[in-house]
Amino acid sequence: MSKLLILSKGEDSSSTRYRALQFFPRWHAAGFEPMHVTASGGPGAVANMLRAARRADIVIVLRKTFPRLLLWLLRRAAKKLVFDFDDAIFCNTDGSPSATRMARFAAMARCCDHICAGNAFLAQRAARFNPAVTIVPTALETTKYQVTAAKPTETIDLVWIGSSSTKKYLVDALPWLAAAAKTIPNLRLKIIADFDLPGCGIPTVAVPWQAESEAQELASAHIGIAPMRDDDWSRGKCALKVLQYMAAGLPVVSSDCGANAEIVREGETGFLVASPREWAERIALLANDQALRQRLGHAGRQRAETGYSIESAFDRLRTAINGCLELPQERQRR
């Protein structure tokens, strides 16, 4: 049984949950012994990480880069090293270039035996430094979202799921949503997150995010919204909320950029918009047409199940890892 070690910043990270921990039962079934170690902390955490790396047959570093010395030590400890990332960690969070982040990203990419990237944009950036790249989309256990939930009859509920770290995208959309609310009197915004936005121009209902209830809360809404900025940081996002909406059977209205634009099929699973007018028009169209919401929601669920299920993503990941294990040992010392 091959020992597989995942190194990440912690189990509470969404990247760790969706790109590592949810695969553990499948790794066991495939003949691997997976283990997770947090790669953050003081000298004790570093020593523990390196000890675990030496015992593993393959090490997957999830989303983290390291200072030069620590990266050198990890590369010496790991028999095979894979880098998995689902964010544009080579730039600042506002999308502006960062020489420091790019240098650490490039060093990480160059020294690995293989790279798993969450979308095509990320894969293209990684391929500049290492041609051994596989696209492994962030995936869902889609059956989790196949729940029956009563939807409000007195309101049309838009839903946005996220956290304070992505709050800026929703704030950007508030003028558009307020404009839509003026033409749709019963429009309401459900925010599944760790914050609320009272007095934002549209009635809101705040629902604290919980893993156990997120599927039910999504399914009880009418329309999923996914505003994004068109910059490198946003292009690195892997459209998790869009996939969650689709798996829950909701039609989607999304900004026409990044991975969102790759996943949402215009007029089939939702709408891609690029202006405040288009936001208001598409939301009004869906709010006034229950049959259209149902048709697009059904198509979106099918797309999530066939293209972005945990089974399809794991098949890609397992193929990449098996191929890496078959590489000659001398490749590890680049």
Render pLDDT for 55-83 as a digit per residue (tens, 0 to 9).
999 999 999 999 999 999 999 999 999 99
Q: What is the full DSSP assignment across 34-52? A: EEEEE--SSHHHHHHHHHH
Regarding whether 214 and 254 lie in a shared domain, the answer is yes
pLDDT of residue 223: 98
So what's the pLDDT on residue 13?
86
CATH number for the domain that contains residue 255: 3.40.50.2000
**43 pLDDT above the threshold of 60:** yes
- The pLDDT score that the predictor gives to residue 185 is 87
- The structural domain count of the chain equals 2
Q: Judge whether 188 and 203 are in contact, CB under 8 Å.
A: yes
pLDDT tens digits, 291-318: 999 999 999 999 999 989 999 999 999 9
Domain containing 24 equals: 2-139+310-333
Binned at pLDDT 50, 70 and 90, residue 49 comes out as: very high
**Do 148 and 55 sit in the same domain of this protein?**
no
- Confirm if 109 and 83 have CB atoms less than 8 A apart: yes
If asked whether residues 301 and 318 sit together in one domain, one would say no
> Within this chain, do residues 169 and 244 fall inside the same structural domain, yes or no?
yes
Residue 262: the pLDDT is 92
User: What is residue 329's predicted lDDT score, i.e. its pLDDT?
Assistant: 66
Helices (H), ranges, 117-207: 120-127, 167-183
Q: Is 97 exposed, middle or buried (0-12, 13-18, 19+ CB in 10 A)?
A: exposed
Q: Are residues 134 and 229 in the same domain?
A: no
- The neighbour count for residue 311, using CB atoms within 10 Å, is 12
Instruction: Tell me: do 113 and 148 sit in the same domain.
Output: no
Q: Are residues 54 and 133 in the same domain?
A: yes
pTM of this prediction exceeds 0.85: yes
Looking at residue 327, its pLDDT comes to: 83
* pLDDT band at residue 40 using 50, 70 and 90 as cut-offs: confident
Q: How far apart are CA 102 and CA 89, in angstroms?
A: 8
pLDDT value of position 222: 98
Q: Vertex 70, ends 64 and 72: CA angle to 5°?
A: 105
User: CA 96 to CA 98: how far, in whole Å?
Assistant: 7
Mean pLDDT of 165-185: 92
Mean pLDDT for the stretch of residues 236-255: 96
Q: How confident is the model at residue 95 (pLDDT cuts 50, 70, 90)?
A: very high
Residue 317 neighbours by CB under 8 Å, 6+ apart: 23, 116, 134, 136
Q: Counting beta carbons within 10 angstroms of the beta carbon of residue 276, is it exposed (0 to 12), middle (13 to 18) or buried (19 or more)?
A: middle
- 331 pLDDT higher than 60: no
Shared domain for 217 and 257, answered yes or no, is yes
Same structural domain, 46 and 166: no
For all residues of the chain together, what is the average pLDDT? 94
Which residues is 85 bridged to in the sheet? 117
Q: What is the pLDDT of residue 330?
A: 52
Residue range 13-39: mean pLDDT, rounded = 95
